[in-house]
Amino acid sequence: MVSSNTIWKKVMTKKTRKRYTAEFKAAAVARLDEPGETLSSVAQALGVAATQVKTWRLEQQAAGSAEAVARRRAEASELQQLRRDAVVHGGRRARISSLVR
């Protein structure tokens, strides 16, 4: 006979979540670009759910596009500042390369 204490322990046992490193996730997503690899084959080989690999791919794509947007904003801000500096230098046309030094 199974005691109620044993049943209680099985029900109340907390599962620990697996945590994967950024390198592991990046490698998993990179495998999707290899010829013949599918979402399910990569997931099965790594022992994770296919939806998890898909989520990692979407997160990586979103991070890449966010970085590109931030880079474009920084470049636009820098160009705007260079133009302001050119106007401040006596209204004459200054070479941007001389302002960058």
Give residue 66's pLDDT.
80
What gap in Å lies between CA 73 and CA 3, rounded to an integer? 65
The phi and psi torsions of 64 (rounded to 5 degrees) equal -65, -40
What gap in Å lies between CA 101 and CA 90, rounded to an integer? 18
Which residue, among 25, 31, 20, has the nearest Cα to 58 in the 3D structure? Answer: 25
Both tokens of 55, joined, read: 């989520």
Distance of CA 7 to the CA centre of its chain: 42
Q: Give the global pTM.
A: 0.56
Per-residue pLDDT of the chain (101 residues; tens, 9 = 90+): 556 566 656 666 777 888 999 899 999 999 999 999 999 999 999 999 999 999 999 999 888 888 888 888 999 999 998 888 877 665 555 555 565 55
Residue holding tokens 């979103």?
Answer: 62
